[in-house]
Amino acid sequence: MVSSEAAPFAKTGGLADVLGSLPPALCALGVDCAVVLPRYASIDVTLAECVYNGMRVYLGGGYYEVDIFRRDVRGVAFFFVEHAGLYGRDGIYGDRFGEFGDNPVRYAVLCGAALGVARYLFPTDIFHCHDWQGGLVPLYLKNLGAGDPALHNVRSVFTIHNLGYQGLVARDRLWDLGVEDRFYRSDLIELNGMASLLKAGIVFADALTTVSPRYAAEIQTPEYGYGLDGLLRARSAVLTGLLNGCDYGEWNPEMDPYLAANFSAGDLTGKQKCKQALLDEFGLGDRVHKPLLGIVSRLAHQKGFDLLDGVLDEMLGYRDLTLVVLGSGDRDVENLFWAFAARYPRNLIFWHGFNHPLAHRIEAGSDLFLMPSRYEPCGLNQIYSLRYGALPVVRATGGLDDTVDAETGFKFWRFDSWDLAECLRHALAVYAEPARFRAMQQAAMRKDFSWAKSAQRYLDLYQLVLNRE
Ligand code: ADP
Ligand code: GLC
């Protein structure tokens, strides 16, 4: 697998969770599985072994010399590509000044190095590449020619975790990525006057997947297709939606080490203690009998929190619920939460940043969990919320629609503040009836989204792709 993130090594969102849990689930099914990712500055390689010193990755007119480190975790071989100039900085995709301008080169080198790993270190039948950062592997593979016997039969699967990030590059930079100008065509990698590395993956992979059935259908429509819906319709015969799984080793309230108390569907007393502890942490301990709504998210446009602007005065004022928000991202959304936190200091906590233990404590302490996404390829947080008895309040889109139902959560359809407000009112009305609310929590906690089933589907797909002529 080729990816820009994998838990526990590098994470900004759900992509990392998938790369941390699908590979071990595949190993459990007997697959030899490796993950290739950059050695970011934050990744400690003291426990890893240097398995290739000075591997040359040729791109355009020159080459990059990288070292490859290997560390095995839960049966999976992780290969870290080290290049101080490209990856040895603070931040994964950017720093406080914004996105790194050379991201396309950084990930082209990752893709080139992944071919090297397959050539010299880990003989490979299939490359499974994720998002635009892995998009050049299928293109490189299809265009190696017969000159590379180690790779010319290797197949590729490309997974779209998010169509909103397209890996756009100016045409005159393609040469630096080892991509010839002849690929710059509207039926190949050109997209709206730029080259798209995401499109390269979609065009050249042998099979395509995305992370929920509903999103697989949505991206074939103009509304969700980002200009790629026509291409995706044309490739629909090789496109499937495979729902992400949940790593219940990590997200399980019965043994979660981050919690003040553990709990299960059969005994929810610990959940009340978690709620009390979470409120105490922020000096709001007297509010334990009020409904608590949690948010843990990248605060990106995709996530739809701008809808709250028309809703929070009613919810925090008149209805007096408690809202705990953990996240960072777009300035506008951050400012919205800062402004409401200033207006409602007694019942809105905004914890700005990334905090893994707090994410667990919010899932455990919340009664309700909010994801009003514009679009959501799969979404993992609502799956975690279900297991933690924090009933999801979601917009019915993508994986949110596929994983939440009327027995386990609350959905609204139109992307509109009014509809969100109505949905929250309904959720609060159910909260006010403890027996009914508890029955929903128990139904939610008993849902099973473990990886085993989804991993088997990936394995079936790999076999299909390998057996195809
Ligand atoms: P996306 O991948 O679009 O960000 P997902 O719901 O699939 O959305 O996955 C988000 C993952 O990132 C979850 O594991 C969630 O707990 C984690 N996460 C997001 N923001 C934060 C944060 N601020 N602190 C800690 N974990 C976070
Ligand atoms: C993306 C999507 C999210 C999905 C995750 C893992 O970041 O935004 O919906 O759960 O990838 O597939």
333 assigned to some structural domain: yes
Is the pLDDT at 96 greater than 90? The verdict is no
Q: What's the CATH code of the domain at 59?
A: 3.40.50.2000
Give yes or no for a contact between 34 and 56, defined as CB atoms under 8 angstroms apart. Answer: no
Query: Are 209 and 86 in the same domain?
Result: yes
**Statement to judge: residues 197 and 78 lie in one domain:** yes
Residue span of the structural domain in which 138 resides: 14-245+452-467
Are residue 164 and residue 288 in the same domain, yes or no?
A: no
The number of distinct structural domains making up the chain is: 2
pTM of the model: 0.96
Instruction: Give the pLDDT confidence of 302-338 residue by residue, as tens digits.
Output: 999 999 999 999 999 999 999 999 999 999 999 999 9
pLDDT tens digit string along 235-288? Answer: 999 999 999 999 999 999 999 999 999 999 999 999 999 999 999 999 999 999
Pair 443, 456 in one domain: no
Q: Are residues 55 and 96 in the same domain?
A: yes
Average pLDDT, the chain: 97
Going 432 to 438 to 443 to 449, the CA torsion angle's sign is positive
Residue 303 in any domain: the answer is: yes
Does 302 lie in the same domain as 195?
no
Residue 249 falls in which region: left (phi positive, over 0), alpha (psi -120 to 50) or beta: alpha
Chain CA centroid to CA 188, Å: 26
Structural domain contains residue 44? yes
Question: What are the beta bridge partners of residue 95?
Answer: 98
- Is 289 found in the same domain as 230? no
Q: Note whether 297 and 216 are same-domain residues.
A: no
Are 234 and 180 in the same domain?
yes
Please tell me whether residues 63 and 196 are part of one structural domain.
yes
Q: Is the CB of 380 under 6 A from ligand 2?
A: yes
Q: 105 and 182 share a domain?
A: yes
User: Is residue 128 assigned to a domain?
Assistant: yes
How many alpha carbons fall within 13 Å on the CB side of residue 84? 1
Residue 2 resides in a domain: no
Tell whether 252 is covered by a domain: no
Q: Report yes or no: 310 and 317 within 8 Å, Cβ to Cβ.
A: no
- Residues within 6 Å of ligand 1 by CB: 13-15, 17, 296-298, 326-327, 354-356, 359, 378-381
Query: DSSP letters of 262-317?
Result: --BTTB-HHHHHHHHHHHHHTT-GGGTTS-EEEEEEEE-GGG-GGGGGGTHIIIII
Q: Which residues of 342-356 are buried (b: 16+ CB within 10 A; e: fewer)?
A: eebeebbbbbeeeee
Q: Is the CB of 295 under 6 A from ligand 2?
A: no
Residue nearest atom 1 of ligand 2, based on CA coordinates: 161
pLDDT at 65: 98
Share of the chain above pLDDT 90, in %: 97
